């Protein structure tokens, strides 16, 4: 996640979106589900932002929109996967399944 | 005939000044890192001490309250989570003896969500026998997870409180920290604030502060730096060194008596300061 955040920050760091950096993380709930949370560095709500659960080939397994608390919960897939926070072309963050604990 | 007794008096007075310990009590609420990329187990130590000198430390009863306040989402009210069940009594080295203090490990599952966590300690009044007064320090420290801002700028309705005007976890060295001193939510004009550097690192394995401090102050006024709030209760302070800086607004709470003795209700806020890393690349 850190690499993704840094990469994204470099991408937008000098642009007009500097004050509105997207932030995202996922947690394993210990019950075969995972919860992902997103937000922005200026405190803006991420409600309605799309989140996609992808398998290793990039196939969409599940998708959802973040709720009013910037949160969405998925069933944890077997095998490798990733989760993408998609708030627009310059506001995407990917968290790898291996980094979710 | 006159000069000698006067000289003796002066020398005696100066000697007592030089050897007297700093008088600023500080409730240290310590966790190693306050700006976290991801939630993790958070170790805390609660020690009633003298921040710059690192001693003496005072016996600390179990706090009346220990909790964090967090706003689940923008527009929602903040919620409090009781942390008293996580407190464990420890003994902490103070000069030649050990005194009661407290530690806690807050599990990751309570602090994994993105945002701010305002940790608050409301201690029981402490009888300072030397001054025959009670001291009660309402202490705050803030932790952020993931960079999403939350309720860092909200006040919590404490009897004595420092309202942060900067994020206490996001300060470069030499940056300016600003706050407002509040008594029951009302700004306190021209009140005294003591500012101290946490000069001795915590040696948590041996439950003591390290003997060697980071700074040797050339004058007592640079150990406990005293500033005043302005007419609106606001203050500002440039942070000269990375580490922890404590702000203590003394005797600002509304309750002035406890168990038949004077009570000083103080507001404490801890601010963590980070060095600017070396510049890389081409300066724009």
**DSSP per residue, B138-164:** EEEEEEEETT---STT-----SEEEEE
Does residue A33 belong to the interface with chain B, where contact is any CB pair within 8 Å?
Answer: no
- Distance CA(B85)–CA(B68), nearest Å, equals 13
Residue B130 within a domain: yes
Measured between beta carbons, which residues in chain B are less than 8 angstroms from residue A51? Answer: none
Structural tokens at position B97 = 């003896």
| Contact criterion met (CB < 8 Å) for B37 and A2 | yes
Domain contains B284 = no
* pLDDT given for residue B23 in this prediction: 55
Cross-strand bridge partners of residue B243: B273
Q: Which of B85, B101, B126 is nearest to B202 (CA)?
A: B101
Is residue B46 included in any domain, yes or no? yes
Beta carbons of A70 and B150 less than 8 Å apart: no
Cβ within 8 Å, pair B74-A37: no
**What secondary structure letter does DSSP report for B13?**
H
> CB–CB of A43 and B150 under 8 A?
yes
**Is the separation of the CB atoms in A51 and B159 below 8 Å?**
no
Asked if A42's CB is within 8 angstroms of B149's CB, the reply is: yes
Is B13 part of a structural domain of the chain? no
A70: contact with B, CB 8 A cutoff: yes
| β strands within B58-175, DSSP E | 65-70, 79-82, 88-94, 97-106, 115-122, 126-128, 133-145, 160-164, 171-172
d(CA B196, CA B178): 15
Q: Quickly list DSSP for chain A.
A: -HHHHHHHHHHHTTSGGGG--EEEEEEE-SSSEEEEEEEETT----TT-EEEEEETT--EEEEEE--TTSEEEEEPPSSSEEEEEESSTT-EEEEEGGG--
Q: What is the CATH number of domain A2-13+28-99?
A: 2.60.40.10
In the block, residue with structure tokens 């209760």: B233
For residue A58, report the phi and psi dihedrals to the nearest 5 degrees: 85, 5
Q: Which of B37, B38, B114 lies at the smallest CB-CB distance from A39?
A: B114
* Per-residue pLDDT reduced to its tens digit, A24-72: 999 999 999 999 999 999 999 999 999 999 999 999 999 999 999 999 9
Residue A12 in contact with partner chain B when CB distance is under 8 A? no
| Predicted complex ipTM | 0.83
Checking if the pLDDT of A16 tops 60, the result is no
Cα–Cα distance measured from residue B147 to residue B36, given in angstroms and rounded to the nearest whole number:
8
Domain definitions of chain A by residue range: 2-13+28-99
Give the closest-approach CA distance of B112 to chain A in angstroms: 8
Q: Quick one: tokens of B180?
A: 């407002």
The count of domains in chain B is 1
In the structure, what pLDDT confidence band is assigned to residue A19 with cuts at 50, 70 and 90? low
B chain contacts of residue A100, beta-carbon cutoff 8 Å: none
Query: Choosing among A15, A23, A34, which should be mutated to test the B contact, i.e. which has the most B CBs within 10 A?
Result: A23
Nearest CA in chain A to B151: A43
User: In this structure, is residue B74 part of a structural domain?
Assistant: yes
Q: Give the domain extent around B205.
A: 23-274
* A·B CB contacts under 8 A: 43
Locate A20 and state its tokens.
């509105």
Low-confidence ranges of chain B (pLDDT < 70): 1-23
Q: Is B10 exposed, middle or buried (0-12, 13-18, 19+ CB in 10 A)?
A: exposed
Q: Which residues of A touch B284 (CB under 8 A)?
A: 14
Please list every residue in chain A whose beta carbon sits closer than 8 Å to the beta carbon of residue B113.
Answer: 37
Confidence of residue A9 (pLDDT cuts 50, 70, 90): very low
Cβ within 8 Å of residue B181, ≥6 positions away: B161, B162, B163, B187, B188, B191, B193, B229, B233, B235, B249, B252, B267
Other C-beta atoms lying within 10 Å of the C-beta of residue B43: 15
Burial (0-12, 13-18, 19+ Cβ within 10 Å), B95: exposed
């Amino acid at each position: 996640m850190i690499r993704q955040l840094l990469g994204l920050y470099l991408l937008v760091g000098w642009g007009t979106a500097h004050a509105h950096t997207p932030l995202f993380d996922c947690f394993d709930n210990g019950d075969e589900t995972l919860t992902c949370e997103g937000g922005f560095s200026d405190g803006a709500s991420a409600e309605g932002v799309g989140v996609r659960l992808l398998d290793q080939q990039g196939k969409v397994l599940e998708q959802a929109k973040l709720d009013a608390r910037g949160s969405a919960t998925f069933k944890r897939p077997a095998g490798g996967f990733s989760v993408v926070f998609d708030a627009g072309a310059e506001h995407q963050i990917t968290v790898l399944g291996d980094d979710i604990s | 005939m006159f000069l000698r007794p006067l000289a003796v008096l002066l020398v005696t007075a100066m000697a007592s000044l030089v050897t007297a310990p700093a008088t600023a009590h500080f409730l240290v609420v310590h966790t190693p890192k306050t700006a976290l990329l991801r939630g993790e187990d958070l170790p805390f130590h609660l020690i009633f001490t003298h921040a710059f000198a690192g001693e003496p430390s005072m016996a600390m009863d179990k706090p009346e309250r220990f909790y964090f306040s967090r706003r689940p989402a923008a527009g929602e009210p903040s919620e409090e989570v009781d942390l008293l069940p996580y407190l464990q009594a420890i003994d902490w080295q103070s000069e030649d003896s050990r005194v009661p203090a407290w530690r806690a490990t807050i599990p990751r599952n309570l602090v994994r969500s993105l945002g701010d966590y305002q940790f608050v300690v409301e201690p029981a009044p402490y009888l300072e026998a030397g001054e025959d007064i009670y001291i009660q320090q309402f202490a705050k420290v803030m932790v952020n997870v993931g960079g999403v801002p939350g309720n860092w700028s909200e006040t919590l309705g404490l009897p004595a409180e420092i309202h942060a005007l900067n994020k206490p976890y996001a300060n470069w060295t030499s940056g300016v920290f600003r706050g407002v001193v509040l008594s029951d939510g009302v700004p306190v004009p021209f009140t005294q604030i003591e500012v101290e550097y946490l000069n001795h690192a915590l040696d948590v394995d041996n439950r003591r502060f390290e003997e060697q401090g980071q700074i040797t102050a050339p004058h007592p006024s640079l150990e406990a730096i005293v500033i005043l709030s302005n007419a609106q209760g606001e203050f500002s302070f440039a942070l000269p060194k990375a580490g922890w800086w404590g702000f203590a607004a003394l005797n600002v709470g509304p309750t002035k008596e406890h168990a038949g003795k004077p009570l000083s209700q103080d507001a404490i806020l801890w601010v963590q300061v980070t060095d600017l890393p070396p510049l890389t690349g081409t300066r724009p």
